[in-house]
């Protein structure tokens, strides 16, 4: 695997690949890689000659200094996993390479970045959009791969790519889960054994809600049941549970078209914040 820490040598390398009509797939990550990330690498490898994985813990998308500081960093292990997955290129820049000066540019996606994650993590999506724009400009890939695990992020990045005419084809990859349903996440590494058990509440709540809504139980009642599930599980705290249109993320008061509906959930187990989502059909 070719490892680049600087932008210019990476660009020179990719220019040579593009000159001989090789296609480039980009998989942006913040590292602490798990099988979910690797499924994005596999998707990219199946559709491109060269897969570039970027690994950068982006400070501008953290609205909480302690969350940034505690974010797991496991570079040697990540490199071994990427080598094993057959990833051709790793781009792991330092802060000064990505941000010559503190990020000043702000993005506003209207309602889309004010709801759900945006409501609880103000500025988060502006930081995501900033770093993803930089990565798109640096790599100029043919394809880019994002997980449906971060459903709202995928919508935001799609809007960004469309509005700024990046000409990059975006691919949403299904969420990979642990055998008990917990969505794989770098943050899971921060859960102790007891909290790891409790963390299944996100998946079980989504599944319960999905079944209830399919059985025509009203969203207000389903919402109540999800809140109750969290209230009766000590050490957990629900931040939001919402039903929304899967394309534009308009929040629903009631579910009229289950097949267009995605359920989104976020909350804490101990000090660790987790998110998940599920399509109703």
Q: Is 36 in the site for ligand PAJ (CB under 6 A)?
A: yes
Q: How far lies 116's CA from each of 111, 125, 242, 263, 281, in Å?
A: 10, 11, 8, 11, 21
Among 25, 28, 118, 141, which residue sits at the site for ligand PAJ (rule: CB under 6 A)?
28
- 36 vs 236, which CB is nearer to ligand PAJ? 36
Cα angle at 140 between 158 and 125, to 5 degrees? 35
Spell out a b/e string for 254-264, using b for 16 or more CB atoms within 10 Å of the CB, else e: ebeeeebbbbb
Could you please report the per-residue DSSP string of 134-187? HHHHHH--SEEEEEGGGHHHHHHHHHHHHHTT---EEEEEPPPB-TTSPBP-GG
Q: Rounded to the nearest 5°, which phi and psi values hold at 33?
A: -70, 145
- Which of these, 37, 89, 32, 90, lies nearest to 57 by C-alpha position? 32
- 161 vs 222, which CB is nearer to ligand PAJ? 161
Q: Is 176 in the site for ligand PAJ (CB under 6 A)?
A: yes
Q: Is 191 in the site for ligand PAJ (CB under 6 A)?
A: no
Distance CA 1, CA 32 (A): 18
Window contacting ligand PAJ (CB under 6 A); options: 25-33, 62-70, 114-122, 237-245: 25-33
Sheet holding 261-269, edge to edge: 236-245, 261-269, 272-279
- 85 vs 132, which CB is nearer to ligand PAJ? 132
Q: Which helix (H) or strand (E) holds 221?
A: helix 219-231
Within positions 120 to 149, which residues make up the interface with ligand PAJ, using CB under 6 A?
128, 131-132, 146-147, 149
Within positions 216 to 275, which residues make up the interface with ligand PAJ, using CB under 6 A?
none
* From 37, 49, 137, 227, active-site residue: 37
Among 4, 10, 26, 37, which residue sits at the site for ligand PAJ (rule: CB under 6 A)?
37
Among 38, 129, 184, 266, which residue sits at the site for ligand PAJ (rule: CB under 6 A)?
184
Determine whether 171 is an active site residue.
Answer: no
Give the max Cα distance, the chain: 60
Among 24, 26, 40, 89, which residue sits at the site for ligand PAJ (rule: CB under 6 A)?
40
Q: Is 173 in the site for ligand PAJ (CB under 6 A)?
A: yes
Which residues are tagged catalytic?
Answer: 37
Binding site for ligand PAJ (CB under 6 A): 28-30, 36-37, 39-40, 58, 61, 128, 131-132, 146-147, 149-150, 153, 173, 175-176, 183-186
């Amino acid at each position: 695997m070719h490892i680049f820490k600087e932008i210019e040598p990476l660009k020179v390398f990719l220019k040579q690949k593009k000159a001989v009509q090789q296609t480039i797939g980009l998989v942006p990550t913040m590292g602490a890689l798990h099988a979910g990330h690797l499924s994005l690498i596999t998707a990219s490898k199946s559709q491109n000659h060269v897969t570039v994985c970027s690994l950068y813990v982006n400070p501008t998308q953290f609205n909480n200094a302690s969350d940034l500081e505690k974010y797991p960093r496991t570079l040697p292990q990540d490199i071994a996993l990427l080598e094993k997955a057959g990833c051709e290129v790793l781009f792991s820049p330092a802060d000064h390479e990505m941000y010559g000066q503190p990020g000043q540019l702000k993005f506003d996606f209207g309602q889309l970045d004010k709801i759900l994650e945006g409501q609880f993590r103000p500025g988060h999506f502006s930081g995501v959009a900033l770093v993803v724009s930089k990565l798109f400009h640096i790599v100029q890939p043919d394809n880019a791969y994002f997980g449906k695990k971060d459903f709202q992020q995928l919508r935001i990045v799609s809007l960004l790519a469309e509005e700024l005419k990046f000409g990059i084809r975006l691919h949403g990859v299904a969420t990979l889960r642990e055998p008990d349903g917990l969505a794989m996440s770098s943050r899971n590494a921060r859960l102790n054994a007891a909290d790891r058990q409790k963390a299944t509440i996100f998946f079980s709540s989504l599944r319960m809600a999905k079944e209830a809504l399919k059985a025509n139980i009203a969203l207000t009642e389903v919402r109540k049941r999800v809140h109750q599930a969290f209230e009766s599980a000590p050490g957990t705290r629900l931040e939001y549970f919402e039903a929304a249109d899967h394309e534009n993320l308009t929040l629903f008061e009631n579910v009229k078209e289950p097949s267009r509906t995605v359920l989104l959930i976020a909350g804490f187990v101990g000090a660790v914040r987790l998110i998940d989502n599920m399509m109703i059909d």
